[in-house]
């Protein structure tokens, strides 16, 4: 066996890594994680308004299949890869809502399985690794990831890349240069797919590439081999994005400029949030992650610290940098942190018999309080969509504030490329879209949409210029015909004065 170092590295894997948890085979553990994910998430199956973000991703994915071009016909900052994922899910039967939620559940369970595998590589017991996978799936729901937020999908790519990266110390010890090069190719391509789902994983992708370079050097690869590998890995990491850039470049300067501004230039133009709001968000997220943080602190204190754990802590640091990059600190921005945190937490869970039960008990208590006992408002959205569909008369209604999915539910045309409601209605985007937001609202209203949807209390501070134009128009030409609850406020449906209400 010693004459085949790569084989020795694989064969030398600890038998404990293959020992099942709770008597379940690897397949059985995967099935259990899938069942767990379904139990936690089935309450929202078919709910069109789990979160405002994924509503818009589905809307864009659907319209992409009908010829819309992201950033030109529908504006956003997310990479095209995310919309392609939702477009692919839209090809499944139904209206796309249940379909994306079922696929997201599969992604969550698969990522949980990789969390379990990665945790075992870090030294977790069979039980600790399995509970780490359970915890990952559970904490998704606590951080607004119980539907189809982008990290629910790209965390799978990142988890796959890190499971490969955690093999590097053994491969380097065996001087398995070819295996390290192959591992780097796959890991960097997976990171590239993650980057085309959201740009922030570029930090983690860079870390995986650097880790592979370091261990390739430790495996005594020649300098030309290291340089060539670095170039290949960088190309593979950038390949999905380069393909997208080329696609938009081929469509001419105006289309490319729209893509470039939306994806990159506009990010720096967004307004920041007050320090008090940022502090409150961070405090809330920290409280929810508290047991994982305690477990990670315990793992940090464990000695000796294996090379695999050094990799995991370096990766966690990279994920924290990515978390801080945007600066808004919404709870769902912490979803990518769950993969390294859950993997490391699994190591601590096998050291104290009560730890798995305390961890899951804490998470389930939060789940009951913050998710299970909170009524859904799916009926509100469907009620508004029915009013829109019955009264649009072939013209485009306008959702000024509320839920972008209403266009999809009502099978309605969209009167603006800036269909994500916060883009034109809320202060945070004022001056960050490349247009005069209030002027765009005025243009939409000049076309006299038959139905307008807004809110009595906004989800964020109004863009005052846009809101003034909207309030003046509603008072002069529209009447309120429906009012339904939405997030402690109400969705308001206005019908143009010259139109009779159709039920």
Per-residue pLDDT of the chain (503 residues; tens, 9 = 90+): 333 334 334 333 444 555 667 778 889 999 999 999 999 999 999 999 999 999 999 999 999 999 999 999 999 999 999 999 999 999 999 999 999 999 999 999 999 999 999 999 999 999 999 999 999 999 999 999 999 999 999 999 999 999 999 999 999 999 999 999 999 999 999 999 999 999 999 999 999 999 999 999 999 999 999 999 999 999 999 999 999 999 999 999 999 999 999 999 999 898 888 899 999 999 999 999 999 999 999 999 999 999 999 999 999 999 999 999 988 999 999 999 999 999 999 999 988 889 999 999 999 999 999 999 999 999 999 999 999 999 999 999 999 999 999 999 999 999 999 999 899 999 999 999 999 999 999 999 999 999 999 999 999 999 999 999 999 999 999 999 999 999 999 999 999 999 999 98
Q: How far apart are CA 385 and CA 411, in angstroms?
A: 9
The pLDDT value recorded for residue 7 is 37
Burial label for 195, CB within 10 Å (0-12, 13-18, 19+), is: buried
Q: And the tokens for 9?
A: 């590295």
Strands 398-399 and 478-486: unpaired
Q: Are 348 and 123 in contact (CB under 8 A)?
A: no
pTM of the model: 0.95
Q: Are 237 and 188 in contact (CB under 8 A)?
A: yes
Q: And the tokens for 90?
A: 């839209």
The pLDDT value recorded for residue 272 is 83
Catalogue the long-range contacts made by 439-447 (C-beta closer than 8 Å, 24 or more residues apart). Answer: 440/416, 441/400, 441/466, 441/469, 441/470, 442/469, 443/416, 444/398, 444/415, 444/416, 445/398, 445/469, 445/470, 445/473, 447/395, 447/396, 447/415
Phi-psi region of 96 (alpha: psi -120 to 50; beta: other; left: phi over 0): left
Sign of the torsion angle spanned by Cα atoms 122, 124, 129, 133: negative
DSSP labels, 26-67: HHHHHHHHHHHHHHHHGGGTT-TTS-HHHHHHHHHHHHHHTT
Order of strands, sheet of 398-399, starting from the edge strand that comes earlier in the sequence: 398-399, 451-455, 489-496, 478-486
Q: How far apart are CA 195 and CA 260, in angstroms?
A: 15
Q: Are 456 and 392 in contact (CB under 8 A)?
A: no
The pLDDT value recorded for residue 8 is 38
Helix (H, G, I), strand (E, B) or coil at 268: helix
The pLDDT value recorded for residue 351 is 86
């Amino acid at each position: 066996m010693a004459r085949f170092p790569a084989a020795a590295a694989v064969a030398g894997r600890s038998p404990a890594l293959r020992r099942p948890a709770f008597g379940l085979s690897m397949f059985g553990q995967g099935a259990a994680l899938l069942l767990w994910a379904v139990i936690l998430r089935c309450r929202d199956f078919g709910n069109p308004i789990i979160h405002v973000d994924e509503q818009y991703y589905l809307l864009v994915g659907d319209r992409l299949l009908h010829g819309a071009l992201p950033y030109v016909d529908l504006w956003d900052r997310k990479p095209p890869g995310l919309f392609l994922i939702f477009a692919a899910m839209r090809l499944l039967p139904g209206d796309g809502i249940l379909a994306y939620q079922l696929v997201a559940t599969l992604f969550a369970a698969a990522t949980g399985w990789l969390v379990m595998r990665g945790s075992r590589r870090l030294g977790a017991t069979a039980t600790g690794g399995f509970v780490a996978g359970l915890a990952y799936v559970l904490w998704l729901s606590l951080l607004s990831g119980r539907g189809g937020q982008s990290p629910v999908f790209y965390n799978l790519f990142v988890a796959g890349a890190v499971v490969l990266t955690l093999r590097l110390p053994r491969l380097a010890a065996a001087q398995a240069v070819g295996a390290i090069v192959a591992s780097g190719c796959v890991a960097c391509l997976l990171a590239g797919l993650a980057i085309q789902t959201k740009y922030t994983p570029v930090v983690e992708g860079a870390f995986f590439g650097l880790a592979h370079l370091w261990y390739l050097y430790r495996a005594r690869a020649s300098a030309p081999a290291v340089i060539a590998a670095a170039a290949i890995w960088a190309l593979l990491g950038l390949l999905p994005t380069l393909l997208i850039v080329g696609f938009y470049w081929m469509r001419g300067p105006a289309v490319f400029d729209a893509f470039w501004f939306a994806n990159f230039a506009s990010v720096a133009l967004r307004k920041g949030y007050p320090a008090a709001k940022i502090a409150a968000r961070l405090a809330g997220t920290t409280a929810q992650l508290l047991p994982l943080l305690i477990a990670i602190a315990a793992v940090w204190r464990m000695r000796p610290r294996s090379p695999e754990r050094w990799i995991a802590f370096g990766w966690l640091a990279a994920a924290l940098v990515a978390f801080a990059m945007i600066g808004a600190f919404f709870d769902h921005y912490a979803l990518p942190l769950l993969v390294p945190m859950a993997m490391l937490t699994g190591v601590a869970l096998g050291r104290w018999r009560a730890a798995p039960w305390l961890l899951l008990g804490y998470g389930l208590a939060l789940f009951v309080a913050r998710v299970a006992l909170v009524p859904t408002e799916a009926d509100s959205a469907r009620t508004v969509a029915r009013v829109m569909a019955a009264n649009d008369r072939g013209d485009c209604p306008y959702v000024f504030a509320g839920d972008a999915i209403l266009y999809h539910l009502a099978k309605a045309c969209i009167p603006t490329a800036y269909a994500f409601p916060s883009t034109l209605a809320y202060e945070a985007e004022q001056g960050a879209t490349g247009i005069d937001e209030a002027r765009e609202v005025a243009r939409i209203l000049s076309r006299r949409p038959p139905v307008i949807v807004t809110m009595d209390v906004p989800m964020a501070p109004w863009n005052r210029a846009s809101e003034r134009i909207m309030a003046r128009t509603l008072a002069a030409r529209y009447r309120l015909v429906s009012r339904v609850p939405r997030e402690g406020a109400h969705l308001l449906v206005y019908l143009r004065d010259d139109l009779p209400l159709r039920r």
